[in-house]
Amino acid sequence: MSEALTPPPLKNDCFALPPGTHWTPVGDAFESLRTRLGPVVDCETVPLSEALGRVLAQDLNANRSNPPQPNSAVDGYGLRHADLVDGPQVLPLMDGRSAAGVPFEGALGAGHAIRILTGATLPDGVDTVILQEDVSASDQEIAFHGPLKRGANTRKAGEDVAAGDVILPAGRRITPADMALMAATGLGEVSVRKKLRVGVLSTGDELAEAGAVAREDQIFDANRPMLLAMLQRFGFEAHDLGRAPDDRPALRGMLDAASARVDVILTSGGASAGDEDHMSALLNESGAMAMWRLAIKPGRPLALGIWQGTPVFGLPGNPVAAMVCALVFARPAMGLMAGEGWKLPEPLMLPAAFAKSKKAGRREYQRARIRGGQVEVFKSEGSGRISGLSWAEGLVELPDEACDVTQGTPVAFYPFSAFGL
């Protein structure tokens, strides 16, 4: 394994936009995040049993070929292709057999056959295997019909993976199938990125804890449970930073404590320019604040900054906008910081089961789901309808340009699973 990597710190101005920028198209926002961010987590070596869901820190090479030796793909009889003829044929059987884990000790004699089982190493001299179903057999000989293709029903050593081959690239998040591939090629431990630690902080005196007694003027904090759950699904290490009151010194203290615990901070609310928007005010005071007014619906404001070296994503306070912005912007950015590289989900192009005339200027994301092979959208576009998030199975993306969607128009549908949920 290579020596552990130590990522460089992010610059305080890494989120700054060019002077005069008023509305940031989604594509420009993607490019800014992609080029300005990088891995912020170190590396560690873990045993294979703990590798699931981790991000590979470097290309992974096979320790051993798979299969390691030529073997039989079926239960049958091992033969020399040079001994075979067209038409009926009888060959005497050698004593013994080759079984998986118990190979035949010796070589196949000319003009003979030998019993062989699936997965068994091919004895010296065997280059072809005939299925047992194609053979009449006694204890001493077998009878069958030729011809038979040379190499039939055999597997070559390394035909799947050769020793030294790159089997998985750096930045890949390890799947159960990857676990099988690593085990099959003799890997007992891997170098991975440490888990990205992401803290979630809610702000505002108007928030009450779910299940608590709330005043009439309060709402329950829906964003924090949602964002923490999303982070767990993404494979990050989620940290609950609690709720900050509308008190600047208290918020400053919570950010100070958070920056020592986590690699990234997600906040919701308090990121605009109002009297009680203390998050944006503090980031401005630190000299590391950028307010991106995104050409997106729902969403628009996205506050980005650095607090004592820790990136801060100030998401909108509305739960629908918070979830959309977390999926569309924060997810690929956090993946980049986690060592996965910049990855955007691939849409499914499916016929619409709705109609909409959209104006130019903003990219739109609507809560949607698939029914009968078509994409239907939630009955209301109102971003205050939290029930629509639960109703939905993904998002429909409508482009920046004007468009008219009618029944059957192909639209871009992103299932939540494409984001890692």
Domain residue ranges in the chain = 26-42+195-337, 71-155, 348-419
Determine the Cα–Cα distance for residues 264 and 261; give it in Å rounded to an integer: 9
pLDDT at res. 337: 96
Determine the Cα–Cα distance for residues 324 and 316; give it in Å rounded to an integer: 10
Are 26-42+195-337 and 348-419 equal in CATH topology? no
Class of domain 71-155: mainly beta
pLDDT at res. 309: 86
Strand 113-116 relative to strand 87-98: parallel, antiparallel, unpaired?
Answer: parallel
Q: pLDDT per residue over 225-269, tens digit each?
A: 999 999 999 999 999 999 888 888 888 899 999 999 999 999 987
Question: Strand runs (DSSP E) across 166-278, as ranges?
Answer: 166-168, 189-193, 197-203, 207-208, 219-220, 237-244, 264-268
Determine the Cα–Cα distance for residues 46 and 175; give it in Å rounded to an integer: 15
Q: Which residues of the chain have pLDDT under 70?
A: 1-22, 270-278, 286-289, 291
Class of domain 348-419: mainly beta
156 alpha carbon, distance to own chain's centre:
33
Identify the helix (H) or strand (E) that includes residue 79.
Answer: strand 76-79
Determine the Cα–Cα distance for residues 326 and 333; give it in Å rounded to an integer: 10
Q: Which of 64, 67, 63, 149 is nearest to 100 (CA)?
A: 67
pLDDT at res. 213: 83
pLDDT at res. 21: 58
- How is domain 26-42+195-337 classified at the architecture level of CATH? 3-Layer(aba) Sandwich (3.40)
| pTM assigned to the model | 0.85
Angle at 62 between CA 59 and CA 65, to 5 degrees: 155
pLDDT at res. 272: 52
